[in-house]
Amino acid sequence: MSIRFDRHVQHVRMATHGAIFNIFLLTSCTDVYFYDDLFTTESAAIGMFYEHEGMVPCRASLCSVMLGSPQGTFCYRSRRTMLPLSRIAFLACLSMTLLTSKAFSEELLMYEPAPDLPGNGRRVVLVAGDEEYRSEEALPMLGKLLARRHGFHCTVLFSLNEEGVIDPDARGNIPGLQALDNADFMVLFTRFRRLPDEDMKHLVDYVESGRPMLAIRTATHAFAYERDSESPYAHWSWDNRDTWLGGFGREILGETWVNHHGGHGSQSTRGVVPDAVRKHPLVRGVEDVWGPTDVYGIRDLPEDAVVLLEGSVQEGMTPEAPAVDGPQNAPRMPIVWLRNRPLDNGKVQRIVTSTLGASVDLNSEDLRRLFVNTAYWGVGLEEQIPDRSDASLVGDYEPTMFGFGSFVQGLRPEDHRLPEPDNSRH
């Protein structure tokens, strides 16, 4: 727990059940005015503002509570209502809030940022959910890296079964997508998900807002809806033939699932930076990219797409394997590209798609470096990308080889947690 005293606000920061909470004891206010995650106060009274960081608004009874009247009664304030509560009711409300937050925090994985780093103040949400390429291993590793090496606040979401256990085969359940409502950057690594409309809406709203994203491997075919679906998001399906030909992948990223261009499980991939983009900040420090997954087939990309890495099909499954001679590499397929996607409001959306990025691919330090650079570029920090971004691992990383049914069973989100960073300098 750390305590900071401001002029009118006592700020108590604590960790409970592995989740982070901010408690503001307001000594000069009768009301709280919300501006996203910020608030202002005025007048004379005593109050307490309670927030579960990164979850505004939160599920169920997570709330702000005020002690505001001369008679000493408490008030529960939501964004819409103000209801008087007795002291007993206040304690009951707070207890219920903590219990709810415990259950909700067990569904989420949050990495607190290290201080005094460029990413401070930016929120990244990483969404994992594929059955084959171990996104449930890759994204916690990437979240740790972005938080502890670069200062981003990272929340990792998983496909969970009914018991709250990580289960990539649970295609219809990724709890916590409301974290996207306040996110500055999204990393999407899903495959053939069919989410409830109320959950899918958070992801759709994020994309439609024009905020930046990194899409990895199977995100080209991130969603799958039944042919006769009446969902308002059915056109996001990877195989849509109506509103969006090719769904989210084709319309937003630039391509949907086509085929395995390289031999799956027999031919690996080496990334090659085209000469035309060698000075681009996204590939700064990126020189040696190799991964055991195969090259995906790409038919064509939008005119606004810029290829950052081409995929050389290699004859074997080791970094030393030579490039294949013949049509598989003539020409090489794009494996990483960026889009400045035009929006209706005249602005552009910054998107990077990488068909390389399975958990085992991310043993490549330079691929991790490219993903770090993408986060900087996405949120407008490209001028702060150094010659070689820190892509060193945080903690142990022993990824599982790709394959269906090969995920490590029995893990929960909290099994990927790290100790709190040292913020003693603040």
Residue 107 is predicted with a pLDDT of 78
Alpha carbon of 360 to those of 260, 317, 353, 402: distances in Å? 18, 12, 18, 7
| Burial (CB count within 10 angstroms: exposed 0-12, middle 13-18, buried 19+), residue 318 | exposed
CATH 3.40.50.880 in the chain: give the residue spans.
109-416
| pLDDT tens digits for range 241-256 | 988 999 999 999 999 9
Task: Give yes or no for residue 165 having a pLDDT over 80.
Answer: yes
12 pLDDT tier (thresholds 50, 70, 90): very low
CB 192 within 8 Å of CB 226:
no
State yes or no: pLDDT of 49 exceeds 60. no
β-pairing, 74-77 with 64-67?
antiparallel
Does the pLDDT of residue 66 top 70, yes or no?
A: no
Task: Supply the pLDDT for residue 328.
Answer: 96
Question: 328-350 burial by CB neighbour count: b if 16+ within 10 A, else e?
Answer: bbeebbbbbbbbebeeeeeeebb
pLDDT band at 319 (very low <50, low <70, confident <90, very high): very high
The CATH homologous superfamily to which domain 109-416 belongs is Class I glutamine amidotransferase (GATase) domain (3.40.50.880)
pLDDT (average), residues 361-378: 98
Q: Which structure tokens are listed for 57? A: 């608004």
| Average pLDDT score over the chain | 81
pLDDT confidence of residue 359 = 98
The pTM for the full model equals 0.79
Which pairing describes strands 9-16 and 2-5: parallel, antiparallel, or unpaired?
antiparallel
Backbone φ and ψ of 169, nearest 5°? -80, -5
Q: Please count the residues of the chain.
A: 426
- Virtual torsion, Cα 261, 293, 250, 235, nearest 10 deg: 120
pLDDT score recorded for residue 314: 98
Per-residue pLDDT at 347 exceeds 70: yes
Q: Check residues 16 and 302 and name the one with the higher pLDDT.
A: 302
121 by DSSP, 3-state: which? coil
Q: Give whichever of 22-26, 43-47, 87-91, 347-351 has the largest mean pLDDT.
A: 347-351
- Position 376 pLDDT exceeds 80: yes
353/36: higher pLDDT: 353
Asked if residue 61 has pLDDT above 50, the reply is no
Joined together, the tokens standing for residue 169 give 């085969």
Can you give the pLDDT at residue 380?
A: 98
182, 37 Cβ separation under 8 angstroms: yes
Query: Which amino acid belongs to residue 8?
Result: H
